[in-house]
Structure 1
Amino acid sequence: MQFHLNGFHVGDPTIEPAVTGAFRADMPDTVDVLIAGSGPAGLVLAAQLSQFPSIKARIVERRSGPLLMGQADGVACRTVEMFNAFGLSDRMLREAYWVNETAFWRPDATDRGAIKRTGRVQDTESGLSEFPHVIVNQARVQEYLLDVMHRSAQRLEPDYDLEVVDVQRDDVGDYPVRVTLRRTNASQLDELVTVRAKYVVGCDGARSRVRTSIGQTLNGDAANHAWGVMDALAVTDFPDIRLKVAIQSASEGNLLIIPREGGYLVRFYVDLGEVTPENRDTIKQTKVDRIIQTAQRILHPYSLDVKEVAWFSVYEVGQRLTDRFDDAIRMDGTKQVPRVFIAGDACHTHSAKAGQGMNVSMQDGFNLGWKLGAVLQGLSDVDLLRTYSDERQPVAQELIDFDKEWSAMMAAPPKDPLRPEAGGIDPEELQAYFVRAGRYTAGVATRYRPGALTGESTYQSLASGFTIGTRFHSSTVVRVADAKPMQLGHAARADGRWRLYAFSDASGEALNALCENWATSPDSILKLITPPGADWDHVVDLRAVLQKPHRDVRVGDLHSLLLPRKGRYGLIDYEKVFTSDAASDIFVERGVSREKGALVVVRPDQYVAHVLPLDAHAELSDFLLRIFRIHTPALVA
């Protein structure tokens, strides 16, 4: 990270100087963004908005304080990549359980009342991400995000003991959405509070009142299958207790074991069988003793002595989805500027088996956060916000489709070779499906379609490993100025800026011409979209990757645009230029043309927006001017 740009300050450099009027205890009459719900989606959104000092955001939560335990725990590789942009990955990786391998167990062919291991596979495909799939309690994940908010210039904190009662859009004045809140604490119970907002985001769960206010409903069906889940401290002779394990028993149901962080705690997902109208209420009242006993029977011939249960719950698998994630279409079918949005469980619900619910919800918040930031800072027109629902609703639909198939496979009994007519699933098929679905469960399979924020694949061959529409797949480089080996993708922070990664051509002439064009041309895209008085990389951050070894690069020979002067002192930023790592050549790993080089355009949420030639000045300008307003004149290096 970089700090001290505008003056030296003692103390923790990750704590931003507070802005005037930072968080105050009383709820203001007006806010730029009101977020309902402090779950994963709401906190990622709030953490992102907290990075913009000029934006006034508030997040309300009906609970009396932060989540303490339980709920989701799987953090996909892609989500760790996102957390790295917030400066949180080191903490997470140090504390988390790393899911390295997954084991598969099924009935013993010689004794179907017992189970035996039939397979063991690597959990995540090699090279898929620089980060692993990890397990961290949702309460801790949320605590990390709360810390980001607290350290921001806004000192953003949730307003607890407040729930949304009503959301009305009257399009009056600068704050066109009126939100009625009700206090839930005992001393002020049922007291009403009214807030007006420019934008409202409902992250308030499956019973979302914000969703109801925009006429959206969760559509879909329950899978009519129940599972019990518990976090337990137990003594067992089951040999794979510290691995992720999928177990199919012959007659007692199925079991999924997820080791938890800390070396001792283990999560058990226990099959409680089919749900019918007759037994639904009974299953909802299932006690933890039944969950333990079922797990013990499934694990036979191994023993399980549960010493303590930290948390447990019973849930019915279901997959539901709304048609839209915003209010851009009125109930009469006419269009309007979107002002109210929904994210996370408010617009898509699913089982915990795929481990994607929390991850996809947080990606919702990350997608919407930078877009709200760009609009509220005046960098982009409001039409940018229409892309949120257009992009994220299809992603949620893909999750629903995957979850239906995976949940059905997890709930199905194993095929009995002596009774093939009884049906069921072949355990080998379950294992093969898990391997095939690895990219999806790692969170890296999302691909945004061509549109306002995603270019066509005309020049994809220039950088075949940076697939347009997918997340930027990082690789190792060496920073020229200080010879630091690092991941190129880690140069990006969750600050709302776009990244332009310019991979040099063989001679370096095209890269130098690109820099000269942007620095001197009257039509320079940097001059057009950078606000007056701002540093030249305020909107888009140019980084160059050279082909020479770093010791052969003379810093003094670099173009001035790659050594920009910034801040009130005009200090030089030396962290814009990298070279390929000799042990891991990014040009080879990501299929970048050595002869021609390439310009890889990356969005603030780390997705590749476009791949262009280094001399495609007009094409880049045309693409970015679809997204950004023109600001002239601007200060450029």
Structure 2
Amino acid sequence: MSTESKVDVLIIGAGPAGLMCAQGLNRAGVKVRIVDQRPKRVAAGQADGIQPRTVEVLQSYGLAERLLREGNQLHMAAFYNPSPNGGIERTDRTPDVTAPSARYPHEVTLHQGAIEAIFVDSMRERGLEVDRPIIPTSLELSTEESELKDPNAYPVKVELKHLEDNTTETVRAKFVVGSDGAHSWVRKTLGITMDGEQTDYIWGVVDMIPDTDFPDIRNRCAIHSNNGSCMIIPREGDKVRLYVQLSEKEVHVDPETGRVDRKKFGPEQVMEVARKSLKPYYIDKVGEVDWWTIYIIGQRVASKFSAHERVFIAGDACHTHSPKAGQGMNASMNDTHNLVWKMTHVLRGWADISLLKTYEFERRKYAQDLINFDKKFSALFSGKPRTEDNQDGVSHEQFLEAFQTFGAFSSGIGIHYTSSVVVQPAHQSFATNQTVGMRILPHVFIRAADARPYELQDLLPADTRFKILVFAGNTANASQLDRVKVLAENVETGVLKKFGNEVFDILSISSAHKEKVNYTDLPEVFRSHWSKVLLDDEDMFKRSGSGKGYEYYGIDTEKGAVVIVRPDGYVGMIAPFEKVEDIETYFAGFMIPRS
């Protein structure tokens, strides 16, 4: 028996990328379905590191609080190298994250199943569940150009098989997202290739509770020993993850598949290699191993990320790399965070379907940059350490420099989308420290109405609306207030009238002092609610870090500027008051005017 249904978006694969996509679309009111072949979500292991930018993204959906409560935080990193006396010795301790503008200046570690549960529980509150166990068996994409260009059409037909009762169903979808992992069925069905290579680096991973005298067991550690490299990642509770470098002599690699034979090498053998690498310290496990695996580092990027902007791939389906810098799950979730708002705008009729081309443009370049970063970092991490007998090896200084240089990239803070229809840097000079194409810098401002301090990022939720930040300058100055009124009239009769009020959320930020300004001074369009007017001033008790925000963003305190923040938190453009027509031109590049 076969049934048939229609859906706006069908998501295949309920890992971190798929769940980020499903919850984002669900919040936006999109009719979405998510299926997965696993009977249950991940119970232990898999990915476990959340980078600072990803915490900001989760916060924009209201999901960071639980992550921070349940996860472990990494604040310090320790580095060990060969000791002249044999074994290893500590050579340095540094901050774990080297990204000065990070709102959350630390990584968070929590096993993938618990991270997935945050999404699953949030979706359940809104009536959305993961359908499982289900596998896709066929996918057909229309070849009719008129159908592919019509956002209201259902050009994708997917056959699904329910594994529990062996029934089938046909789903007709406007869009499909394949977030079904490194061996993606969707990618293979579309005939998309993975470009790149497999390295010679073999690593074993063990999650367990340690019994050890190693003094940095609760810090992230990079260990170079004469026995091979090792990484320690402290986890939630008392757990620790060990990444242990293995040699081909120790494990058997199948020459045909290129995969490690897990039957001949298990967690006990990984622990034994770790013991040798950590000498003179001892390490053992308390109780059973929580999870383990062995893998060979592969570094590949899909040749394209979509078929006709109707079927997309995301996450491990379109890029694979080593887990050393903790990028996999973060890159995956940020893929679909990028896609959610664009898909929503198209489905609502706000934006032209061509907007969806920017998903591949932005995320594929990021994936390629990630692979280039990963190649350098993996080579340094897996390379032999420099010793008296091996002067060509990796020195501590080399590794530390790379660790700190790549910090902005690995933290996610340094992601920079280049010029496109949604990134227009022409007026960059009006906010010199806030790069167009990068995420809006976090900073604390106070509300004009009651002087309560607020982190700006918390006022810019991922609700699919563009945020227009009007840095109004010194509104205590009558001539500047007149400029603001002219700007308000131009915004109201231009962008808002042409594209619709519901697309935008406007916040105004005055540089005037709290003692001298009333929020009611600003034009109504810039204060749709009393909470929408902020001041760049210290809070009443000077404890929140507020003040000097204009200076932080590089904006003139008297004249101000307009900053357009995309729904995913990245700055799309900046403009001076006198170039408000350029804002209209920006939106006209991808949005559909109201009739």
So what's the TM-score if we normalise by structure 2?
A: 0.92
Tell me which of 452, 469, 479 is aligned to 2:447. Answer: 479
Higher deviation after alignment, 582-591 or 100-109? 582-591
More helix by proportion, 1 or 2?
A: 2
Structure 2 CA distance for aligned equivalents of residues 492 and 368 of structure 1: 18
Tell me which of 73, 78, 93 is aligned to 2:53. Answer: 78
**Alignment identity in percent?**
36
Deviation at 1:148, TM superposition (A): 2.4
Deviation at 1:64, TM superposition (A): 0.8
Q: Is 1:94–2:69 an aligned residue pair?
A: yes
Structure 2 CA distance for aligned equivalents of residues 616 and 282 of structure 1: 60
CA pair 28-558 structure 1, distance change in 2 beyond 3 A: farther
Q: Is 1:578–2:549 an aligned residue pair?
A: no
Deviation at 1:126, TM superposition (A): 6.0
Q: State the Cα deviation string for residues 189-221 of structure 1 (Å, max 9, x = none).
A: 3x3221111111100111112112222011211
Tell me which of 382, 390, 403 is aligned to 1:411. Answer: 382
SS in structure 1 at match of 2:80: strand
Task: Look up the equivalent residue of 1:214 and give its one-letter code.
Answer: L
Contact 1:545–1:578 (CA under 8 A) maintained in structure 2: yes
Cα RMSD over matched residues? 1.8
The within-5 A match list for 1:19-58 is: 29-53=5-29, 55-58=30-33
* Correspondence for 1:376: 347
Deviation at 1:606, TM superposition (A): 0.7
Q: State the Cα deviation string for residues 71-116 of structure 1 (Å, max 9, x = none).
A: 111111110110011101122222221111111001112x23x110
* Correspondence for 1:12: none
Q: State the Cα deviation string for residues 237-276 of structure 1 (Å, max 9, x = none).
A: 10001100000111x21110000022x1111001112478
Higher deviation after alignment, 503-512 or 378-387? 503-512
Structure 2 CA distance for aligned equivalents of residues 518 and 449 of structure 1: 26
* Correspondence for 2:497: 527
Deviation at 1:277, TM superposition (A): 5.3
Structure 2 CA distance for aligned equivalents of residues 35 and 287 of structure 1: 34
Deviation at 1:146, TM superposition (A): 1.6
The within-5 A match list for 1:98-109 is: 98-109=73-84
Deviation at 1:619, TM superposition (A): 0.7
Task: Look up the equivalent residue of 1:84 and give its one-letter code.
Answer: Q
Structure 2 CA distance for aligned equivalents of residues 281 and 384 of structure 1: 39
Contact 1:52–1:495 (CA under 8 A) maintained in structure 2: yes
Q: State the Cα deviation string for residues 320-357 of structure 1 (Å, max 9, x = none).
A: 111110013xxxxxxxxx21110001111111011111
Task: Look up the equivalent residue of 2:294 and give its one-letter code.
Answer: V
* Correspondence for 1:327: 307
Contact 1:168–1:213 (CA under 8 A) maintained in structure 2: no
Q: Is 1:238–2:214 an aligned residue pair?
A: yes
Structure 2 CA distance for aligned equivalents of residues 207 and 182 of structure 1: 18
* Correspondence for 1:272: 246
Structure 1, unaligned stretches of length 5 or more? 1-25, 329-337, 531-535, 565-572, 633-637
Contact 1:230–1:313 (CA under 8 A) maintained in structure 2: yes
Structure 2, unaligned stretches of length 5 or more? 148-152, 475-479, 539-544
The within-5 A match list for 1:135-534 is: 135-152=109-126, 155-170=127-142, 174-185=153-164, 188-189=165-166, 191-250=167-226, 252-262=227-237, 264-274=238-248, 283-285=261-263, 286-308=265-287, 309-328=289-308, 338-420=309-391, 423-456=392-425, 458-506=426-474, 507-519=480-492, 521=493, 524-530=494-500
Structure 2 CA distance for aligned equivalents of residues 63 and 295 of structure 1: 32
Structure 2 CA distance for aligned equivalents of residues 311 and 277 of structure 1: 21
Structure 2 CA distance for aligned equivalents of residues 379 and 546 of structure 1: 30
Higher deviation after alignment, 228-237 or 274-283? 274-283
Contact 1:476–1:581 (CA under 8 A) maintained in structure 2: no
The within-5 A match list for 1:579-598 is: 579-582=535-538, 583=545, 584-598=547-561
Q: State the Cα deviation string for residues 581-602 of structure 1 (Å, max 9, x = none).
A: 3253111112111132111111
For these two proteins, the number of residue pairs brought into alignment is 568
